[in-house]
Amino acid sequence: MEECNFMELMEEMAVQFTVNKEEHQLFVHDSRMISLTIQRQLVLDGAVFKDQLAELHKTASFVDKIYLDMPLNFEIFLPIRLPKPVVPTYDEKKRSVQFTRANYQHPFFFGNAVNFKCLNLLLQSELQRAISKLKTATSTSTGRTYDIKYSVLSLNDVPFVHQVVALDRDSNGKRFIRFDFILAVEFNGADMALPPYFKAPLINRWIAYGRMTVDEDPNPAEWAVLVPKWQDASPGAALISLNCMVMLYRLMSAQQCYLFTLPGSIKLAFVMATEERGLDFQQISIADLTITLAVCFFAVVAVAAAKPGIVAPLAAAPLAYTAPAVVGSAAYVAPYASSYTAHSVAHSAAFPAAYTAAYTAPVAAAYTAPVAAAYTAPVAAAYAAPAAYTAAYTAPIARYAATPFAAPIAAPVAAAYTAPIAAAAPVLLKK
């Protein structure tokens, strides 16, 4: 049998999975058309957010069966700008911030503070009203008619992940454009500098989004801080990142793991991967980035299948994640499951708390058992043999996944992901 270099195989697969240029241009056109249609309706409605969704098209994903495409400048966070300057108050331990402005009234504020509950509830209300009026959008480029629907994933009755799904009417539910995004406020580092412990260059932008908790009542004035590492990516690095996500999506879709293979989850895994590698992610190989991305993706999936109401880092210490990412429950994937027609979630989905090493121990204890129970039976069959994975996975994964990460993930993965990641022994992720 001819020896195969696994890393080279990953490189070749990623190149082959580059999307067709013409199809990509059609997707970009239609996603912008849908985005502009929604924005025009918001203007007609006199909505508060009428001038705030200019970046909506960047959150789009195109899905056609096992095929995935996204813009080169893809985003999971939808940044908006506050109407007036504010005064920030930072909390180093929580890696969070509060924004205040005295004697000012605006729908984004409650009292003197910018309130993420007010923002998200208002956006939910205005998008629901606008999309209920639109119902459909027709592309002049492709001739496709899209049925548009809107839903949210919420915690404590506060929307966190907003979802706009445009389903191609003639595709039998197989082809659609979806916009998955987390609302965030954006600042330029030069205009509002972060404290030194964030290690954020003044030339970079940074974002903040609602810091939600489960074990205690969240403070709607408290925002988690994130300095996106991918904002400095060159076009070449962005294309490599996109190819890696496309490849991972196809590998999972080929095994019919539709509940777990979600564009939003894959983009969140990318956020984690870039935070773990820092700016170096632009220089690493396709294979190296794909493996890092896969480890982060499995972490997202593991927590998404676990016990509802878990808030904790997905891969605390080894990923050195300096800001929150998504931690969810089965409710996180529910709206994606039934032809994208769900409008509500029965149970709450738990989302981020700031990542610090202090969270590691409680998380490992909190979701090891639930994940193992959730995964062992259903996923073992689904992930029987996704690809010709070899022992070459062992070393890279072990490098990225230290003991704190291995504890919650090792048990379920050993049973559920036997074939995908080089059988049970390598998957234990022990150094």
Per-residue pLDDT of the chain (431 residues; tens, 9 = 90+): 455 665 666 666 666 666 778 888 999 999 999 999 999 999 999 999 999 999 999 999 999 988 899 998 899 999 999 999 999 999 999 889 999 999 999 999 999 999 999 999 999 999 999 999 999 999 998 899 999 999 998 877 889 889 999 999 999 888 999 999 999 999 999 899 999 998 888 888 999 999 877 667 789 999 999 888 887 777 878 888 888 888 888 888 877 776 667 888 888 888 878 877 777 777 777 777 777 777 777 766 665 555 343 323 332 222 322 233 333 333 333 333 222 222 222 222 222 322 222 222 232 233 333 333 333 333 333 333 333 333 333 333 333 333 332 333 333 333 333 333 332 222 223 33
Picking from 373, 420, 119, the residue whose alpha carbon sits closest to that of residue 261 is: 420
Q: How far apart are CA 30 and CA 50, in angstroms?
A: 20
Residue 353: what pLDDT?
Answer: 28
At residue 425, φ and ψ (nearest 5 deg) are -60, -50
User: Roughly what angle, to the nearest 10 degrees, separates helices 235-254 and 6-16?
Assistant: 100
Residue 192: what pLDDT?
Answer: 93
Q: How far apart are CA 182 and CA 28, in angstroms?
A: 20
Q: Are 335 and 349 in contact (CB under 8 A)?
A: no
Q: What is the pTM of this model?
A: 0.69
Q: Are 404 and 396 in contact (CB under 8 A)?
A: no
Residue 279: what pLDDT?
Answer: 72
Beta bridge partners of 350: none
Q: Are 162 and 191 in contact (CB under 8 A)?
A: no
Q: How far apart are CA 329 and CA 9, in angstroms?
A: 34
Which CATH number does the domain 18-427 belong to among 3.30.1370.140, 3.30.460.90, 3.40.50.2300, 3.10.129.10? 3.30.460.90
Q: How far apart are CA 176 and CA 174, in angstroms?
A: 7
Collapsed DSSP state (helix, strand, coil) of residue 98: strand
CB-based contacts of 424: which residues, under 8 Å, 6+ apart?
A: 414, 415, 418
